[in-house]
Chain A
Amino acid sequence: MANFSTNEFKNGLKLMIDGEPCNILDNETVKPGKGQAFNRIKIRKLISGKVIEKTYKSGESVEGADVMETDLAYLYNDGEFWHFMNNDTFEQIGADEKAVGDNVKWLKEGDLCVITLWNGSPIIVTPPNFVELEVTETDPGLKGDTAGTGGKPATLNTGAVVRVPLFIQIGEIVKVDTRTGEYVSRASK
């Protein structure tokens, strides 16, 4: 993989830092009027998820990370791996528990997820921003309540638990924002 000099640093560039692929979130030039220039970058370590700051002397170079993102459809879980497929080439790839992480609760068959690959292996699985899932368990709630005062917990068919308005019943499909874990609306079947 090519090296990148500090003058090529920009948001979104993927670098190998401390043996881990990282994504630049922010890059700032710091230069005293009469002194050495520095690049202060904020990075997300893609495997641990940690966000840290790091400073380089301007002119230094850092090894790039072979990281790419691809849209793949979720197929099934075999107990060990979560399998995804490229809908154009029908190629399949398995992501392990570490890559799927907490997002397992949003994975619905057929949904297109963003899979981040490092050296060809999945390291992050990002579900769509919005998913539509079926309510499998929730208290019956009061009839006629439409004000949505506080709501009630509902378990969805993927195992996720979200707060929904009182009028939502078992068997209904709801739309959820996966970034916040919040109920958005009723979805038409």
Chain B
Amino acid sequence: MSWQPSASIENLKIRAKTLTTIRNFFAQRNVLEVDTQAMSSATVTDLHLVSFTTEFMSAGANASSSNTLYLQTSPEYAMKRLLAAGSGCIYQICKAFRNEESGRYHNPEFTILEWYRLGYDHFDLMAEVSMLMEELFSCKPAEQKTYQHAFIDHVGLDPLQCTLQDLKQAVLDHKLNADWAQCENNLDTLLQYLFVELVETNIGQTVPCMIYNFPASQASLAKISATDGRVAERFELYFKGLELANGFHELTDADEQRQRFKDDNNLRVANHLMAKPIDQHLISALESGLPACSGVALGIDRLLMLAVQANNIDEVIAFPVNRA
């Protein structure tokens, strides 16, 4: 009966307990809990993120005089504005919204834990993410592997050296059934495909696994490594087949950030998507000075899926989109 929650009350109790554990974890470390807006006047420019929009009207306004607001795909931009304003280390547990994402591991509205640590590089933050995992799952410390090594181990190709043709050949060699791959022209799409099929399914099976130093073309909002320009100081956490978290040694350079947003928008247009408004507040915050820091976002619902060994994200969410 669809009025009832899809998650058992037992799972909802585990959810509450997990949130308490997380809040205690940050309280012990003097990380400040913050609460930023879910709706913003600008949004992300990522090629593969689709944000929800809504219309804001003042009293008596009509559709033509309304302002479009975007539901956040993560609280990243708002939290960086707080960091630039001198908040110190912060964390937030909030709802994030991503359109066109639903399925066994996705609900378009989901709960995110995001935190930022001043003065940390991505290795420091990976260590802290590992500590949180150890506290939540009583597991051993996470293992760490570069994207390059993981890819070589499981695909048999160096992701930082290979050509489109090498990747297409790898799809054939591994007997993957994906006809589109042979006419794909985007290197990152093929890298991502081979990664989800061959790497993600094989890493982090017994202890959490951190993959770090992603190809620079997938830098997102991470710094490019000062010692190897081919990689970005970005990491992801995988455990038992689930992608749980994504973190960056944060890009603090306003000009480079603006350029990346523009490049994203050009890529969107080339893919027949609308360009998105660039978040000028974020750019201004970076111009005023974002302190050196690392940040990470972790999916709480997926964390809970692991905690209760759920097969479907609906088992840990009271009312997923099909019952909302």
Contact = CB atoms under 8 A, between A and B. Distances in A.
Contacts of A54: 177-178
Top 4 A-B residue pairs of the complex, sorted by shortest distance between their CB atoms: A29-B103, A35-B192, A54-B177, A55-B178
A20 interface: no
Interface in A105-158: none
Contacts of A76: none
Contacts of B49: 34
Contacts of B218: 34-35
B274 to A, nearest CB: 15
B48 A28 contact: no
A34 B106 contact: no
A35 B180 contact: no
A104 B151 CA distance: 50
Contacts of B195: 32
Nearest to A30: B196
B182 interface: no
Given A32-B243, A34-B48, A55 B193 contact: yes
Given A38-B196, A57-B189, A31 B176 contact: no
A58 B104 CA distance: 15
B295 to A, nearest CB: 14
A28 B189 contact: no
Residue among B46, B177, B188, B189 facing the most chain A CB atoms (10 A cut-off)? B177
Contacts of B287: none
A36 B104 CA distance: 17
B46 A34 contact: yes
A4 interface: no
A33 B177 CA distance: 23
A33 B44 CA distance: 13
Nearest to B234: A34
Contact of A53 (B46, B101, B177, B192): B177
Interface in B158-200: 176-178, 180, 184, 186, 188-189, 192-193, 195-197
18 contacts: A29-B101, A29-B103, A29-B106, A32-B192, A32-B195, A34-B49, A34-B218, A35-B196, A36-B48, A36-B192, A37-B48, A37-B100, A38-B193, A54-B178, A55-B177, A55-B178, A57-B184, A60-B180
Interface in B238-291: 243, 246
A56 interface: yes
Interface string A12-50: 000000000000000011111111111000000000000
A187 interface: no
Contact of A34 (B104, B184, B220): B220
Nearest to A54: B177
B102 interface: yes
A52 interface: yes
Interface of B: 46, 48-49, 100-106, 176-178, 180, 184, 186, 188-189, 192-193, 195-197, 218, 220, 236, 243, 246
B48 A35 contact: yes
Nearest to A58: B100
A29 B105 contact: yes
Contact of A28 (B103, B197, B220): B103
A90 to B, nearest CB: 43
B14 to A, nearest CB: 23
Given A29-B101, A31-B101, A37-B100, A56 B178 contact: yes
A56 B101 CA distance: 15
Interface string A66-87: 0000000000000000000000
A34 B246 contact: yes
Contacts of B48: 31, 34-37
Contacts of A31: 48, 101, 106
A56 to B, nearest CB: 7
A32 B79 CA distance: 23
Given A54-B177, A56-B178, A37 B193 contact: no
Contacts of A57: 180, 184, 189
Contacts of B103: 28-29
B82 to A, nearest CB: 22
Contacts of A53: 177
A38 B100 CA distance: 12
Contacts of A37: 48, 100-101
B272 to A, nearest CB: 11
Given A35-B189, A55-B177, A57-B180, 13 more contacts: A7-B100, A28-B104, A31-B106, A32-B192, A32-B195, A34-B46, A34-B218, A34-B220, A35-B192, A36-B193, A38-B196, A52-B177, A55-B197
